[in-house]
Amino acid sequence: MKSYVLITGVTGGLGSAFAVACAEKGYDLVLTDLREQGSDFARRIAAAYGVEVHYFACDLTSDTAREQLYGRFQSAGMKFWGLINVAGLDYEGAYALLQRSQIMRVLRVNLLANMELTHEILGTRDPACTFRLINVSSMAGFYPMPFKATYAATKRFLLDFSLALREEIREFGTVTALCPGGMPTTEACMRAIFAQGFWGWATTVDPQKVARATLARALRGQAVYIPGFANQLLQVFSACLPTGLKVRFVTSRWRKAQGEIAARQWSQPSAPEASMEFDCRG
């Protein structure tokens, strides 16, 4: 019986990069994302690399849609030896000015869907294989981030959850938490990188390189991976600083970046307090 790697958020930059990296190694794949057009991508991957690829469109914020997805796995008798949780979302801006539906959507995608999907796949894992789980956290998971408060908190949760679960499944598998900096995967992300100037570019990493490097480290059983020397150095340095100082520094950088965005007459956000949606599927 074939055993698959499941990848979420696969039509985004990082998710698609993981799909290619896995296909390059000859892994059979199950892919999912919100977008129906992901099936075209799945067919191209299958044709290019000669692997079996299944695509299921699914709105991970919907309890019903997730249950239907699990039902399709079960009806096909699928077993999994790997799971890469890429799907994630952020609405950037002052917490009090965000819509409550936006806050809940971030929680549903970044936390609830991730945890439920992980629980489901652990229940259908292939016992003949070492199980590999990759959770996409973020550099934002290492400290509180004003104006990205909910997002950063969910990424911290994923980091801690990954490290804890790693110990629980040590007998049959590994868990790797990926903590990247910025990635030029969407127009909104590109605007944010441009606005941060030198530090924006210094901490930016290429999704294709990140996917390949993360996969290699996950197969070796590495617990946490921070891509990019600048990001690794930043994390070592910031670990020595008081949390309050880091929070104020993040606030200062965010306000400066928003001012740069407004000055360049980009449409969103038009003021420092406005919110911007980042599709963190890549």
Q: Does the structure show a pLDDT above 90 at 222?
A: yes
* Helices assigned H by DSSP within 55-133: 63-75, 100-107, 114-123
Asked if pLDDT for residue 208 goes beyond 90, the answer is yes
Contact 4, 78 (CB under 8 A): yes
What would the pLDDT profile of 66-123 be if each residue is shown by its tens digit? 999 999 999 999 999 999 999 999 998 899 999 999 999 999 999 999 999 999 999 9
At 86 the three-state DSSP class reads coil
Mean pLDDT of the chain: 86
Task: Order across the sheet with 53-57: list the strands.
Answer: 53-57, 29-33, 3-8, 79-85, 131-136, 173-178, 224-225
259 token code pair: 């001012």
Q: Count Cβ atoms within 10 A of the Cβ of residue 77 and give its class: 0-12 exposed, 13-18 middle, 19 or more buried.
A: exposed
Report pLDDT digits (tens) over 133-151.
Answer: 999 999 989 988 999 999 9
* CATH class entry, domain 3-267+273-279: alpha beta
At 4 the pLDDT is 98
Q: Are 133 and 176 in contact (CB under 8 A)?
A: yes
pLDDT band for 240, please (50, 70, 90 cuts).
confident
User: pLDDT digits over 269-278, tens only?
Assistant: 433 333 444 4
Q: What is the pLDDT of residue 193?
A: 47
Pick 250 or 167 by higher pLDDT: 167
248: pLDDT strictly greater than 70: yes
How much is the pLDDT for 181? 82
How confident is the model at residue 257, as a pLDDT?
A: 61
Q: Which residue has the higher pLDDT, 20 or 278?
A: 20
- CB atoms < 10 A from the CB of 241, how many? 11
Per-residue pLDDT tens digits for 137-193? 999 899 889 999 999 999 999 999 999 999 999 999 999 999 998 665 555 554 554
What's the full length of the chain, in residues? 282
Residue of 177, 171, 181 lying closest to 145 (CA atoms): 181
For residue range 24-42, what is the model confidence (pLDDT) as tens digits?
999 999 999 998 888 999 9
Assess whether pLDDT exceeds 80 at residue 125.
yes
Neighbouring C-beta atoms of residue 66, cutoff 10 Å: 20
pLDDT band at 203; cut points 50, 70, 90: low
pLDDT of amino acid 126: 97
CA atoms within 13 A on the CB side of 156: 11
pLDDT at position 277, please? 44
pLDDT at 255 over 80: no
**pLDDT of the residue at 262:** 59
**192-206: average pLDDT:** 55
User: How do the domains of the chain map onto residue ranges?
Assistant: 3-267+273-279
Between CA 86 and CA 4 the distance in angstroms is 16
The Cα 83–Cα 121 span in angstroms is 7
Amino acid code (one letter) for 63: D
Predicted pLDDT of residue 185? 53
As beta bridge partners, residue 173 has: 131
Tell me which residue of 150, 139, 142 sits closest to 95, measured CA to CA.
150
Average pLDDT over residues 49-72: 96
- The DSSP element (H or E) to which 62 belongs, if any, is none
Residue 195 has pLDDT above 50, yes or no: no
